[in-house]
Amino acid sequence: MADQTQLDALEADEPQLQNYTSESTEAPAEGEEVRRPSASAPGSGTGRRKQAIARVRIVPGTGVWKINGRTLEEYFPNKVHQQEVNEPLKVLELDGAYDVLVRVHGGGPSGQAGAVRLGVARSLNEVDAELNRPALKKAGFLTRDARVPERKKAGLKKARKAPQYSKR
């Protein structure tokens, strides 16, 4: 009986939870300053996707993109690819804060866009890992997509396509 009264007393002292969240970080209270990523340091990173390799340098600036000497719109006319390479900057709310200089070769447009996105994310991570890494990691931008084309096997027409079988 005494144990039960002690338990009741302990439970009364504990604060009751009012709400639940799946977020690991708590939102800042009102009046508390939110620390935004600063665009004060340069960074660089390498991105790879399929057969494409991109070397990316970011420097504080006005948001100018130069990919192999061309603008973003000239190099990636497809809007989907333009959005894909801009995603890491959008997630960190750094649109227009950095000039992005890219050298990319190999692969096709889709692979190159993926390589540039990984390179931009890695370079932003290098600038301020403590502040930028959690958001980039949660969005999946720091993970290298390891899928590559399967090699052709001997005796087959392609990687898996076998010659047509003829019974007679």
pLDDT at 37 over 70: no
- Decide which of 58 and 39 is more confident: 58
% pLDDT > 90, the chain: 64
* CATH code of the domain in which 114 resides: 3.30.230.10
Evaluate whether residue 131 is within a structural domain: yes
Evaluate whether residue 152 is within a structural domain: no
Range of the domain at 62: 43-139
Evaluate whether residue 120 is within a structural domain: yes
Evaluate whether residue 50 is within a structural domain: yes
Residue pLDDT, tens place only, 107-140: 999 999 999 999 999 999 998 888 899 999 999 9
- Band of pLDDT at residue 96, cut at 50, 70 and 90: confident
Evaluate whether residue 70 is within a structural domain: yes
How confident is the model over 95-104, as a mean pLDDT?
Answer: 92
Structural domain total, the chain: 1
Evaluate whether residue 147 is within a structural domain: no
Evaluate whether residue 114 is within a structural domain: yes
pLDDT at 42 over 70: yes
pLDDT at 58 over 80: yes
How confident is the model over 153-165, as a mean pLDDT?
Answer: 95
The string of DSSP codes covering the chain is -HHHHHHHHHHHHSPPP------SSPPPPTTPPP-PPP--S-EEEEEEETTEEEEEEEEESS--EEETTB-HHHH--SHHHHHHHHHHHHHTT-TTTEEEEEEEESS-HHHHHHHHHHHHHHHHHHH-HHHHHHHHHHHTTTS-----PPPPPTTSSSSSPPPPP---
Evaluate whether residue 108 is within a structural domain: yes
- Decide which of 101 and 96 is more confident: 101
